[in-house]
Amino acid sequence: MEESFLEVNLENLPEFLTEKIRSANSSGEIFNAKSGDLSLKINDIVFHSTHDPTKEALRLIESLKPPGKEDKLYIFFGAGLGYGVRLALEKSNITVIWMECDPIIFKYAFEIYDYSRYLKNGILRILLSPFNEDNLFTAFKGLGSCHTSFIPHRPSLNWKENEYSECKFICEKFFRKKDVNIATLSKFETVWTRNLLQNIPEILKMKPISLLFGIAKDIPILVCGAGPSLYNDLDTISKYRDKLLLICVDTALNVLHNHNIEPDLIYSVDPQTINKSYLEGYNGSGIIVFDPTSCYHTLRLPGHFTNGFFTSSPFPLIKLITNFAIQEVGDIPFGGSVSTNAISLAELMGAKNVLILGQDLAFTDGFAHCKGAILEERLNHKENRLFRRELHNFKQLYALPKIEVKGKDGSTLHTNEKMQIFRKWFSDRAEGRNWINMTSGGGIIENIPISTLQNYFNQNDISSDKVRIAKEYMINIINNNIIYFNINLFITETIKILDDLKNYEKSLLKGVNISKNIYTLVQKKKENSSEFQSLLKQMDKIDEIISSKKGLSDIIGLGVQRVILMITEGYESNLSLEEKKNNSLSIAKKSILLYQGLYDASKLIRKTLKKSLSRARLNVSH
């Protein structure tokens, strides 16, 4: 056995993998098959044919020929000594990801074969359990558009069935999540941009959320979601209402308000137009906490609640607001849902405990939302002979594959992957925090203690006076006439930004046209022509101009995230088969897409920002 291969291979792996593989303890035995090839036996499990391991692997690889000549990705869930991996690597247009659950397998395989050239050029990528998202992201980077084959290794499954089965589930989940990210960007990138810009005039009149940080010392804050079990807890909330501050997500507002429960704060995050329906017609005393990318119709609704607080945003475009604030705006950690944001806000307010309610994260009793939620009430107007609410609810339950989760009462409940993502967010962050799950139904969230409002207030003496003082403090902030922005500076700088964007677009348009000309010459196979070299030099100058305008690039970046992700992560849905096969053509097409995306985003931002500037000026004059 050529042990020297081990170190040659390990030189091309990250250090954290190198140490695990090098120090792996021997297990089982290596023996010669009848053909002379080596085979492996662990715990009576033979990993390869005892006659001819190479021939066995060849039959497997030949059965995997997909149609066409596109790039392929083979993912091996275990491969023993690597016979199948070696044969796959010898074929063209194939990238291999090799996943193992025990480092000893890689150690044996690396001792007997030199994979170094494949590891060095990225054609072979190694993953070792435990598989975290960062490692998966690195391994799959640039492979989003490849024709993918999952290749389980039966002896590995027989050896450690649960561990190797998990490899497949993890990959499926990761690919679905990446697809969801692309779909989300495709659906929302323009909406986020438009919302943030159109919300500017109203936000300039609002208060920064940082003014509420730390005001709730010794006070519990109840964060109320709109899960199906919320309906069962309304009377209990009413009973202890004066003992706590209440933050509700906007979807739960209608349920609470109809039960004469007024929240102190109403958190709004959703960018979709339907979001305004949650607050439409509301005339209660609750105060909105508004994410700048939320639906711009919301702040234009009648009602005192719109005179509220706004948060910062993870998008660079927020600088158009925060650069002119005279008070720190306040960052709320973004967990992907309005509930996670509301819980983060409660922590920043300094809550004695964050009490979580209405967070079922399951279809409790077969329902998607609490009875009385706006989404349910809207069905009263939409329901007809051919569209029943039962059908609508059924579609919500089965829009994503069904997953079972253990309920708080010990029963098995129906949930889905989307809710599981948020369940993981809660459980991963719960340790050492002061969260208590008060939700009466739904699924268990690991690492968060369970209680009830009655038990909590029996064990904790909460001063109603302190709660009242905190509420009055919030109301006084809202009622003061302090403007927390230098609006005149905003107007002056925005005029300059609009002029800069107009000039910036000229360079972007040149970039689009030059990229198209380069593309045409590549198609005609004229890459060695003087015209082609001249265009490349012109393109370099354009690239330099664009790179030097970092501030403007940051501003328009939100509107072109989908294109950037498509280019950097290999989700090449906009490339033809010819473009994927021809690297020069692919690069030219990506250049067109990038410059066209930047140009379109700049035009959208300039047009919308110009309107917002006019409305901001009107507000100043009034």
How does the average pLDDT of the chain come out, rounded?
85
Contacts of 7 (CB under 8 A, 6+ apart): none
Closest C-alpha among 70, 34, 254 to residue 149 = 70
pLDDT digits (tens, 9 = 90+) for 530-545: 999 999 999 889 888 8
User: Are 144 and 572 a contacting pair, CB within 8 Å?
Assistant: yes
On whether both 260 and 324 belong to a single domain, the answer is yes
On whether both 503 and 449 belong to a single domain, the answer is no
Does the pLDDT of residue 62 top 50, yes or no?
yes
User: Are 334 and 318 a contacting pair, CB within 8 Å?
Assistant: no
pLDDT digits (tens, 9 = 90+) for 572-588: 556 676 777 777 888 88
Which CA distances in Å does 452 have to 127, 364, 456?
44, 18, 6
On whether both 368 and 492 belong to a single domain, the answer is no
Which two tokens mark 86? 């070696």
pLDDT at residue 230, rounded to an integer:
92
32 within a domain of the structure (yes/no): yes
Please state, for a pLDDT cut of 70, what percent of the chain lies above it. 86
Q: What is the b/e burial string over 478-502, where b = at least 16 CB atoms within 10 angstroms of the residue's CB?
A: beeeeebbebeebeeebeebeebbe
Which of 454, 479, 504 is the last residue before a domain boundary?
Answer: 479
Does the pLDDT of residue 417 top 60, yes or no?
yes
216 within a domain of the structure (yes/no): yes
197 within a domain of the structure (yes/no): no
On whether both 306 and 428 belong to a single domain, the answer is yes
**Is the pTM for the entire model greater than 0.75?**
no
Question: How far apart (Å, rounded) are the C-alpha atoms in residues 343 and 346?
Answer: 5
On whether both 358 and 221 belong to a single domain, the answer is yes
pLDDT at residue 1, rounded to an integer:
45
pLDDT digits (tens, 9 = 90+) for 169-199: 777 766 655 555 555 555 566 788 889 999 9
- 594: containing domain: 486-621
On whether both 466 and 496 belong to a single domain, the answer is no
Question: How far apart (Å, rounded) are the C-alpha atoms in residues 88 and 79?
Answer: 12
pLDDT digits (tens, 9 = 90+) for 202-218: 999 999 999 999 999 99
pLDDT digits (tens, 9 = 90+) for 363-383: 887 776 677 665 555 555 555
Angle at 102 between CA 98 and CA 107, to 5 degrees: 75
Mean pLDDT of 138-148: 72
pLDDT at residue 494, rounded to an integer:
93
Total of domains in the chain: 3
Q: How confident is the model at residue 409 (pLDDT cuts 50, 70, 90)?
A: confident
On whether both 258 and 380 belong to a single domain, the answer is yes
Closest C-alpha among 166, 121, 148, 271 to residue 571 = 148
Which two tokens mark 486? 């230098």
Does the pLDDT of residue 145 top 70, yes or no?
no
On whether both 428 and 493 belong to a single domain, the answer is no
- Which residues are bridge partners to 532 per DSSP? none
Per the omega criterion (within 30 degrees of 0), is the bond before 130 cis? yes
Which of 123, 140, 159 is the last residue before a domain boundary?
Answer: 159
Total Cβ atoms within 10 A of residue 128: 20
Which two tokens mark 331? 């960052």
Which of 453, 479, 505 is the last residue before a domain boundary?
Answer: 479
Total Cβ atoms within 10 A of residue 359: 29
500 within a domain of the structure (yes/no): yes
Contacts of 229 (CB under 8 A, 6+ apart): 358, 360, 364, 370, 439, 440, 441, 442
263 within a domain of the structure (yes/no): yes
On whether both 276 and 383 belong to a single domain, the answer is yes
Please write down the HEC assignment for all residues of 153-209.
Answer: CHHHHHHCHHHHHHHHHHHHHHHHHHHHHHHHHHHHHHHHHHHHHHHHHHHCCCEEH
pLDDT at residue 565, rounded to an integer:
56
Does the pLDDT of residue 93 top 50, yes or no?
yes
Question: How far apart (Å, rounded) are the C-alpha atoms in residues 255 and 258?
Answer: 5
Question: How far apart (Å, rounded) are the C-alpha atoms in residues 203 and 200?
Answer: 5
Mean pLDDT of 554-576: 61
Which CATH number does the domain housing residue 152 bear? 3.90.190
How many residues are there in the chain? Answer: 622
On whether both 269 and 386 belong to a single domain, the answer is yes
264: left (phi over 0), alpha (psi -120 to 50) or beta: alpha
pLDDT at residue 67, rounded to an integer:
45
Closest C-alpha among 528, 507, 527 to residue 518 = 527
Mean pLDDT of 50-74: 80
On whether both 373 and 500 belong to a single domain, the answer is no
pLDDT digits (tens, 9 = 90+) for 275-288: 888 888 899 999 99
- Which residues are bridge partners to 354 per DSSP? 221, 435
Q: Please name the residue ranges forming H helices in 402-486.
A: 417-429, 453-459, 464-479
218: left (phi over 0), alpha (psi -120 to 50) or beta: left
365 within a domain of the structure (yes/no): yes
Question: How far apart (Å, rounded) are the C-alpha atoms in residues 412 and 290?
Answer: 36
On whether both 279 and 362 belong to a single domain, the answer is yes
583: left (phi over 0), alpha (psi -120 to 50) or beta: alpha
184 within a domain of the structure (yes/no): no
